[in-house]
Amino acid sequence: MRAIRVIPATRDLSTGQQNNHFTPKRRVAGYARVSTDSDDQYASYEAQVDYYTTMIKANTEWEFVGIYTDEGISGTSTTKREGFNRMIADALAGKIDLIVTKSVSRFARNTVDSLSTIRKLKEHKVEVYFEKESIKTFDSKGELLITIMSSLAQEESRSISENVKWGRRKRFADGQVTVPFTRFLGYDKGPDGTLVVNAEQAKLVRYIFSLFLQGLTFHGIAKRLESEGYITVTGKSVWHSSTIHQVLTNVKYKGDALLQKYYIADFLTKKPVVNNGEVPQYYVEKNHEAIIAPEVFDLVQKEIKHRKENAETMKGKHLFSGRIRCGHCGGTYGPKVWHSKDRYRKVIWQCNEKYAERHNTCTAPNLSEAELQQLFVKAVNKLVHDKDEIIRNFKTIKDSVFDSSDDESNLRSLVAERLEIISGMDRLTTENASTAMDQQVYQERYERLTDRYRGVEARISALNQMMQDRLFRKTKTELFLKSLRKQESMVTEFSELLWHSLADQAEVHGKDDVRFTFKNGMEIRA
């Protein structure tokens, strides 16, 4: 007959501690978290810390390790919770035996995060006690209950997220603009959340727009601001091209606001995603005081588009790049360095098609950079000499040349006609649905209306484009005249600023025949 002898357990199943007459104290830590940094939540946060500190210290069988906290952090993910992650690291390192927290939702609102963390802790003999639900992770039913409670907490978080999204989109639809950051170049956040112009910073914003319209690139503007000692809104001395681009394309500077440029796709990660049409956007006109006049802002957008479309010819870093044309073959002039490694080094501009196989040797002359600069100075002085007459002529003709009242009247008529056609299509569709119409007759009538609609739509589009072009030329001319007014005397030397602010391009016909086209449309032979 077999003999069976029971060998008693020497360690506690839950704690892993040795069973003997002396039981060491369990090292206990508390975890407290609130998901916002509002005043009422801060009071809750302080109450949690105080409560668990007192509770742990009052238990004679426990040794107080500390309270780990996260303030103003969401519970849907553990990745950004520094206090939580530090606590788990200490527990896995053997510094903690028991973690006490308020509830499953305080621990994590993500079921996967919650379970994976608890299982990892259990492997290292660390228990978690959820006071509100009275759940201990070492209990046999603990994991099942935690799974259920975590799932409920996750669903609650999803529901809250959806409600927040709905509320935000409702505010957007009502035209209520919120600024999601505290530092915004040119504006301060007012007491009611509105944008208030910062007078000093607004000067810098206008300067950036001015430099761009003078011809400087994003990179060129950034370097100019650095050289002149301007500081970014974040207090840095280094400017980036991307920052300049953001300033020049932000509709808030013309007083408008585009809402919901980003959205939260996953409530668990809360990572903002660029809105490429997945959710509605809302455009609010005249929402706040503008820093840049709308027509100037629109002019800049048109110029950005133009430069992008002509990137191949304008990609050079030199100020003349893409702006010197050949009067013989229509090609673009480009820089060539002669004697690059000796003291005779100089930059020569020549037609890029001069030795191209597809051309019979272009006869356009080469010009040194110094010659181009001198010729530009001569052309500018001719302009300055006739400055008063040019300004007077502009004042005389601007009302007639740039007047859009007839176009606006025609546009209103076309819009009314479009509405009439749409109403006719609606009536025809309703009639066809309610009466027995000959379908061939119906189709013919509908197609005639469709053709009319397309024709009107094309005329509206063309008229809008014409009005935009007229406004573009007017604004461009006004900026040109503004720069010209500032030039009170004859020019003695070449200025990059004058080149960018006054000239559009130059066309080379001969060594002594270079014609400069200025931003007001005038062509002057140097």
pLDDT in tens, 265-286: 443 445 555 555 545 556 677 7
pLDDT in tens, 466-478: 887 887 778 778 8
Strands (E), 145-251: 187-189, 195-197
Q: Where are the alpha helices (DSSP H) in 274-345?
A: 294-309, 311-314
Q: Does residue 239 contact residue 322 with C-beta atoms inside 8 Å?
A: no
- pLDDT value at position 214? 72
* 273: three-class secondary structure by DSSP: strand
With 70 as the cut, is the pLDDT of residue 207 above it? yes
pLDDT in tens, 293-330: 887 888 888 888 877 776 544 445 577 888 899 988 88
- pLDDT value at position 235? 86
With 90 as the cut, is the pLDDT of residue 498 above it? no
Per the model's pLDDT, the better-predicted residue between 489 and 104 turns out to be: 489
Strands (E), 8-61: 26-34
pLDDT in tens, 156-172: 555 554 544 444 545 54
Assess whether the region 26-160 and the region 187-309 belong to the same CATH fold: no
Q: Name the phi and psi angles at 525, rounded to 5.
A: -85, 125
With 50 as the cut, is the pLDDT of residue 39 above it? no
Between the CA of residue 42 and those of 25, 161, 182, what are the distances in Å?
Answer: 32, 21, 21
d(CA 250, CA 265): 24
- pLDDT value at position 9? 62
Q: Does residue 147 contact residue 116 with C-beta atoms inside 8 Å?
A: no
Strands (E), 177-314: 187-189, 195-197, 257-259, 262-264, 272-274, 282-284
Burial class of 65 by CB neighbour count within 10 A (0 to 12, 13 to 18, 19+): buried
> Which residues partner with 252 through β-bridges?
none
The CATH code belonging to domain 26-160 is 3.40.50.1390
d(CA 230, CA 216): 17
Q: In the Cβ-directed half-sphere of 278, how many Cα atoms lie within 13 Å?
A: 11
With 50 as the cut, is the pLDDT of residue 175 above it? no
Per the model's pLDDT, the better-predicted residue between 436 and 492 turns out to be: 492
- pLDDT value at position 331? 87
Question: From the CA atom positions of the chain, what is the Rg in Å?
Answer: 36
For the segment 11-26, the average pLDDT, to the nearest whole number, is 60
> Residue 334: in which H helix or E strand, if any?
strand 333-338
pLDDT in tens, 368-421: 888 999 999 999 999 888 888 888 888 777 777 777 788 888 989 999 999 999
Tokens (6 digits) for 316? 């050079």
How does residue 28 score in pLDDT terms, banded at 50, 70 and 90? Answer: very high
Between the CA of residue 477 and those of 149, 175, 305, 449, 473, what are the distances in Å?
Answer: 68, 35, 19, 42, 6
d(CA 431, CA 434): 5
d(CA 289, CA 194): 10
For the segment 451-465, the average pLDDT, to the nearest whole number, is 90
CA–CA–CA angle 104, 129, 57 (5° rounding): 125
Percent of the residues in the chain that have a pLDDT greater than 90, as a whole number: 17
Dump the DSSP string for 395-410. Answer: HHHHHHHS--HHHHHH
Q: Does residue 325 contact residue 363 with C-beta atoms inside 8 Å?
A: no
How does residue 130 score in pLDDT terms, banded at 50, 70 and 90? Answer: confident
d(CA 358, CA 346): 28
With 70 as the cut, is the pLDDT of residue 56 above it? yes
Where do the domains of the chain lie? 26-160, 187-309, 365-415+455-525
Question: What does pLDDT average to over the chain?
Answer: 78
Long-range contacts of 450-457, Cβ-Cβ distance < 8 Å, separation of 24 or more? 450/425, 452/421, 453/418, 453/421, 453/422, 453/425, 456/414, 456/417, 456/418, 456/421, 457/418
Q: Does residue 483 contact residue 448 with C-beta atoms inside 8 Å?
A: no
- pLDDT value at position 40? 46
Per the model's pLDDT, the better-predicted residue between 156 and 96 turns out to be: 96
Q: Does residue 226 contact residue 237 with C-beta atoms inside 8 Å?
A: yes
Range among 13-17, 99-103, 511-515 with highest mean pLDDT value: 511-515
For the segment 226-255, the average pLDDT, to the nearest whole number, is 89
Query: CATH homologous superfamily for 187-309?
Result: Putative Large Serine Recombinase; Chain B, Domain 2 (3.90.1750.20)
- pLDDT value at position 167? 47
